[in-house]
Chain A
């Protein structure tokens, strides 16, 4: 499976080309909010007003690609939680008005499949359409789904695959109860050097045009791997086996794009792999750019594509060289672990 183009709305200036030219946005308030573009060029104002942030970002990153690639047949989205702000607005109405007469807008917008549905509607795509909500593997699942669709046809085909997650009071408060975020004030610039408990909250929409054709591709998604609740030593063995299954040695992986988040409780997962399988390899954490959210690995894949294209202006990647193989890895709370092997084309 090949990636033709990527597009992101993120806490960095990824909508234009500032991020690629080395701009690094420092977020000091402990939460990395996405920097959103003006959507009015392609979303009617009346429609935009009703859209929650997840839907808005998903359309903002995805619709220009749907319009640009008429060959896109279907849409597959990964999102752990979908439109949370609408969800809690509706929830609050239910409780505050004691289940009185409510308006449906928030309810309809809160369903996680609203992003893929709205993209299909606005892009007039009646083909394959699915939404994966499997926590931190939701984007991994979306990409596997896409691979199966593309393999199943003899015809050249393109699909839009992406991930969306928004910050809302709902998940911020609940994730805080779960101690996912740092108690002290840390910027994203300092994040990966931190060793205290917790990470920094982030959000964004990352979209990929994938195809079964190599022509004009920017990267190949060679393979993926996922595992839940592995043992600490077992994971190292499993990753080595995953690479071997794809015919490469750990030494042939040139760059690691990992989800380190300066979380003293879980960064050992990344450190173990680096020390035992990839000593001396160039490593970067995508979470210093995107913040932490369930489907942040999609931003890791976005970053990997940029590195594969030889972009050395990106903050901290001056020495990345011109890699051939990149391993992207993210885990969440040690529960779900996902890997992508991306290759230069």
Chain B
């Protein structure tokens, strides 16, 4: 089986417009959660959000991408994509190579402009600029067109595990020999559609989310985009990889459309499968970047999964959604990159807003920036609606 290395990363979130800016925020325990400025909704006065600190016009300037009908989802995807391919020093020829795959993901896609969509879908008034941009895969198509991608291309939507599955699929394409390189990740931005959706399920916290805390009251929605450049070992050549993708597991909870099971059957199966494919045992995991949304349900179930799988030796863990909010389809890739920073710099970024362990679980996440930790293997979890769940393992290159 061919080894899969990560040779480039690009990310944009409420923590910063680049990976470097986000690293500074992570180290300074500076959360991106606050009052939304660019996003328009009645909820911006009632709820905190993790908004990217750039208007659509600023994003157009940053990316040089100004075509009519380009949505915010496409702009943030483009920004992170540009950073990732530059970081991996890919030439245009390498990007356009038929052996380079591109797998993106999004849940809200072009529906981020909910009001334009409402008018166009109901034939109200003149067509908006965005009438051909609403599909979840539109951002993928725009990037394919702009960068003349000619290999395998895909868009995944498994709700909150979407970009984790993009990483998983990219790794399998490379392992199987169907691709030598895969640019994988996802993008989602704040939208009335998702804010009202999650609000109708009553799982949005009126204060910044506090994952794994006894008094957690729900999640905070965020926006973000992140891409990783995966390359076969021989394709990566002399590059210094961030890490190797060693393990991945995808399973379904088969329990409820929008809640996780008490016995964590789906999450556990995904985590066990990730360990199996990586050839590791639970004791080998040095750090878990948890899904940790801050909802009553998720954190309870995920804690149960940790205790079941790791017993009394639960590894160091934190949910960085306390910084970035829940970036939905992008979360898997945003958090994969944070996991890679942990491996590269030997440090763990804290789980903010934690005070008291969940009764009956007693698990305490990392609550302060922890430095000089030898981190060889990180597990990154992503669970979503529809019972979808994916666990990934990134390992230091030996």
A residues neighboring B (CB under 8 Å):
74-75, 80-82, 87-88, 90-95, 98-99, 101-104, 107-108, 111-114, 116-118, 120-121, 123-135, 137-138, 141, 144-145, 148, 151-152, 169-170, 173-174, 177-178, 226-229, 335-336
Contacts and interface: CB of A to CB of B under 8 A. Distances in A.
Contact of A133 (B43, B132, B156, B385): B156
A125 B41 contact: no
A121 B165 contact: no
B154 A99 contact: no
Contacts, number: 201
B49 to A, nearest CB: 14
A132 B148 CA distance: 21
B107 interface: yes
Contact of A121 (B148, B250, B256, B269): B256
25 contacts: A74-B252, A81-B135, A92-B118, A94-B193, A99-B43, A102-B200, A104-B200, A108-B201, A112-B136, A113-B157, A116-B252, A117-B386, A120-B386, A125-B252, A126-B269, A127-B252, A130-B158, A130-B165, A131-B157, A132-B155, A135-B141, A148-B169, A148-B172, A152-B176, A173-B122
A175 to B, nearest CB: 9
Interface of B: 41-43, 106-107, 111, 114-115, 117-118, 120-123, 127, 131-132, 134-137, 140-141, 144-145, 148-150, 152-159, 165, 169, 172-173, 176, 178, 192-193, 195-197, 199-201, 250-258, 265-266, 269, 384-388
Contact of B131 (A75, A137, A177, A335): A177
Contacts of B150: 227-228
A116 B200 contact: no
Given A99-B42, A99-B192, A103-B200, A113 B153 contact: no
A107 B197 contact: yes
Which of A75, A88, A173 has most chain B Cβ within 10 Å? A173
A92 B118 CA distance: 7
Contacts of A117: 252, 257, 385-388
Contacts of A82: 157
A302 B97 CA distance: 32
A238 B198 CA distance: 45
A104 B197 contact: yes
Contacts of A169: 121-122
A132 B127 contact: no
A120 B255 CA distance: 9
Given A99-B192, A227-B150, A336-B141, A92 B122 contact: yes
A114 to B, nearest CB: 6
A173 B120 contact: yes
B201 A145 contact: no
A198 to B, nearest CB: 15
A335 B138 CA distance: 11
Contacts of A177: 120, 127, 131-132
A94 B196 contact: yes
Contacts of A174: 120-121, 131-132, 134
Contacts of A121: 254-257, 387
Nearest to B118: A95
Contacts of A228: 141, 144-145, 149-150, 153
A40 B43 CA distance: 41
Given A120-B252, A135-B137, A174-B121, 13 more contacts: A102-B199, A108-B201, A113-B386, A114-B386, A116-B252, A116-B388, A117-B388, A129-B387, A130-B156, A131-B386, A132-B157, A174-B132, A174-B134
A160 to B, nearest CB: 12
B67 to A, nearest CB: 15
A120 B141 contact: no
A87 B127 CA distance: 19
B250 A125 contact: no
A223 to B, nearest CB: 11
A130 B200 CA distance: 25
Contact of B196 (A107, A124, A173, A336): A107
A178 B132 CA distance: 7
A135 B135 contact: yes
A229 B127 CA distance: 25
Contacts of B200: 101-104, 107
Nearest to B203: A104
A170 B114 CA distance: 12
A142 to B, nearest CB: 9
B364 to A, nearest CB: 30
A91 B114 contact: yes
B103 to A, nearest CB: 9
Contacts of A88: 121-122
A108 B256 CA distance: 11
Given A104-B258, A125-B252, A133 B118 contact: no
Given A118-B257, A228-B144, A129 B135 contact: no
B117 A80 contact: no
A152 B172 contact: yes
Contacts of A137: 153-154
Contacts of B386: 111, 113-114, 116-118, 120, 129, 131
A112 B199 CA distance: 19
Contacts of B250: 128-130
Contacts of A227: 150
A74 B273 CA distance: 14
A91 B117 contact: yes
Q: Which of A81, A90, A108, A116 has the most CB of B within 10 A?
A: A108
Nearest to A171: B121
B1 to A, nearest CB: 9
B153 A129 contact: no
The 8 residue pairs across chains A and B that have the minimum distance between CB atoms: A117-B386, A107-B197, A129-B252, A134-B155, A104-B200, A113-B386, A120-B252, A133-B157
A108 B178 CA distance: 35
